Structure 1
Amino acid sequence: MTSLLERYPALSWHRPLMLLAVAMTALAGWSLAGLVVDDRTLTGLPIWAKSGKFAVSVVIYAVTWAWLIAQLTRWRRIAWWAGTIAALGLALELVIIVTQIVRGTTSHFNISTPLNAALWTTMGSTIMVVWLATLVVSAALFVNPTADHARNAAIRWGTVLALVGAALGLSMTRETPQQRASGGSISGAHTVGLSDGGPGLPLLGWSTAGGDLRVPHFIGMHALQVIPLVLIALELAARRIPVLRSMQARRTLVVIAAATYGAVLAVLTWQALRGQSVVRPDAVTLLAFGAIAVAAIGVLLYLLIRATKAPVPNRSVPMEA
């Protein structure tokens, strides 16, 4: 009988993270069913929406980091243990989220009872451990460069931006001055300028009336997928565009894409902290986004003009399949 590892070799990348991904896939399906059969709402959203969003996000996180750990040749054992700690921490966080959903109450920022406060404190501590574990794996990636400098840049920039995005989540755990003054049952918030639970985007729940720190948090965390995808697109385009066959050209474009992504992340964070909804940018915010676009396009045009004047190298660095 064929073993699971033989049928699904991806499970061997990092077994704890991949098993977590399988479990979160099942949870995503369960949450989808919950959206259909359970009509309860919490903070303005269907009560099973949170577990569904978290499950999908954890699947992406787990599969990405499992694959990256499998590529390591140095620090692999250290990275393996860090990945295992991250998997356990994320599993614990989702158990608490589902527990609170079943109980019909919120998991995040909830200090209304000793039990709720203990669960929220556990979540906060756990996610910090997950962040530190991710930092260790990121460090391992930095000391394991490949022969392709473009791929090195994509992985390194992606990990740095993902760590920044994850760290932005910590800003939501701080007690607001209003909460401190009132001494209520909530400590922390993702909405800036308004209370959580107001009008928001469908399923995502991002506030359409005030600033929402979940926006830069989400955008930053998934830089680890977006930046490498940019490189993959460049590698595919290189089959038809000769200038992209140069490893250095691809690396330069990856750096530009990452710098642009980082600038957009900074503006989104600034926008949220100003209490402004992501769907209602003012003139200053639009000007900032416009400046980023002009700068990125300007650099790309300069490089394109310079590339057209330079001779195309006869020998290019082979690309991996």
Structure 2
Amino acid sequence: MKLLNTAWCRENRAKPLVFLGAVLFASGVAHLGVYCIDGGAWEGDISWRKPILFGISAGLTSISMGWVWGSLSTWKYDRFLSWTAALALLLEVGLIDLQQWRGVASHFNRSTALDSAIYNVMGLLILWVTGVIIALTVRSFTTPLSQPTPMVIAIQYGLLYLTISCGLGILININGDLRMQHGMPPAQYGDAGVPKFPHGVVIHALQWLPIIAWGAAWAHFSTTTQRRIILFASRASGLLLVYASAVTLLGRARFDAPPELAVVLYVALTTLLGLGAIVISGIFKHLLATRQTPT
């Protein structure tokens, strides 16, 4: 399977996303070390959490985008889009890191002209990255990918959820600015809703869905079984998004859901964990059978 073939990393379209993605990931890990030494609160407007999570998250997203690009047929604008997306992610996370090292908030910070300008630039950068992700998502549905059918499904759903997550992130920024104008907490919806919850709950489906597809292939399940597994996993991921969006719109905290909504979360998590167990069990059975087969 091409996921295990590192040749895609050397593909011209993938190179900038993979290299700068690795830099971003390393930055997040480095800031984790800083947090362990410096300490401080994990939550809050000024916290090492942001350089850590944004670095690791943007790094994984960048690398995954490079992998997807390596599975698509060549387009004349590919290198421009991949380079600009990678640089935009690097600059956005760099600005977040800068604000943390300055000891000021990176998001919803308009206390000075400089802070406001930095926040505006971050918004423009993420708009560009979102546009590139949308283009990549459309191409994944309209252009053949050099991957097996179950992996194609994983890529398509992963990109779709990434697009939705980016769109929600943009809405969060708009809503936050509007709330600030009325003197309300920007990172909140209603009484206790957390807008970043639906924004982040499936943002990494582009990683976990291909991993599930890869595991099902490694287990040597039939193509039909692999396809069913990834479809169930994709739809369960969608239920996570439904739950997170609904509980936030109700103005409730992440896990303060009414019973009928909590069932959605239970079904989603049970399905994903169950599928994970099936795949892992299948891999072990395949490895055991391979070892027992006489040479």
TM-score by length of 1: 0.73
Separation of aligned partners in 2, 1:145 and 1:23: 27
Alpha-carbon deviation of 1:236? 2.7
Aligned CA distance change for structure 1 residues 33 and 275 (closer, same or farther; 3 Å): same
- CA 1:140 to 1:272, structure 2 compared with 1: closer, same or farther past 3 Å? same
State the shift of 1:11 in Å. Answer: 4.8
Q: What do residues 195-232 of structure 1 show as CA deviations (whole Å, max 9, x unaligned)?
A: xxxxxxxxxxxxxxx32222222222111112112212
Instruction: Give CA-to-partner distance per residue, 1:154-183, whole Å, 9 cap, x none.
Output: 21122111211221111211245653233x
Residues 276, 114 of structure 1: alpha-carbon distance in 2 compared, 3 angstrom cutoff: same
Q: Give 2:213's aligned amino acid.
A: L
Q: 1:141-290 maps to which residues of 2 (within 5 A)?
A: 141-142=140-141, 143-146=143-146, 148-175=148-175, 178-182=179-183, 188-189=186-187, 191-193=188-190, 210-238=192-220, 244-245=221-222, 247-289=223-265
CA RMSD of aligned residues (A): 2.8
Question: Quick check: 1:131–1:166 contact (8 Å CA) kept in 2?
Answer: yes
Gaps of 5+ in 1: 1-7, 195-209, 239-243, 301-321
Higher Rg of the two aligned structures? 1
Is the 2:42–2:49 contact (alpha carbons within 8 Å) kept by the matching residues of 1? no
Bigger Cα displacement from structure 2, 80-89 vs 101-110? 80-89
Q: % of aligned pairs identical?
A: 23
| Greater shift in the superposed pair: 12-21 or 95-104 | 12-21
User: Matched residue pairs, number?
Assistant: 264
Is the CA contact 1:82–1:134 (under 8 Å) kept in the aligned structure 2? no
8 A Cα contact 2:51 2:93, kept in partner? yes
In the other structure, the counterpart of 1:33 is 33
Report if the CA contact (8 A) 2:25-2:55 is conserved: yes
1:134 is displaced (CA, Å) by 1.4
Q: 2:286: which partner in 1?
A: none
User: Could you tell me which amino acid in structure 2 is paired with residue 180 of structure 1?
Assistant: Q
Structure 2 CA distance for partners of 1:145 and 1:171, relative to 1, 3 Å: same
Distance (whole Å) between structure 2 residues aligned to residue 42 and residue 257 of structure 1:
31
Q: Distance in 1 between matches of 2:261 and 2:31?
A: 36
Find the aligned partners of 2:24 and 2:263 in 1 and give their Cα distance.
Answer: 40
Q: Which residue of 2 aligns with 1:95?
A: 94
**Distance (Å, rounded) in 1 between the aligned partners of 2:137 and 2:147:** 18
Task: Tell me which amino acid in the other structure corresponds to 2:127.
Answer: M
Contact 1:35 1:46 in 2 (8 A): no
1:64-106 deviation line (CA, Å, top 9, x unaligned)? 111221222242x433322211111111111211111121100
**How many angstroms apart in 2 are the aligned matches of 1:107 and 1:65?**
25
Q: Which residue of 2 aligns with 1:205?
A: none
Q: Are 2:71 and 2:146, in contact at CA under 8 Å, matched by a contact in 1?
A: no
What secondary structure is seen at the aligned counterpart in 2 of 1:101? Answer: helix
Which residue among 4, 12, 31 is the counterpart of 2:10?
A: 12
| Structure 2 residue runs without a partner (length 5+) | 1-5, 276-295
Tell me how far apart the structure 2 counterparts of residues 165 and 178 of structure 1 sit (CA, whole Å): 21
Distance verdict in 2 for CA 1:51–1:237, change over 3 Å: same
Q: Deviations over 1:261-305 (max 9, x none)?
A: 1122112111122222223332132133356689x79xx9xxxxx
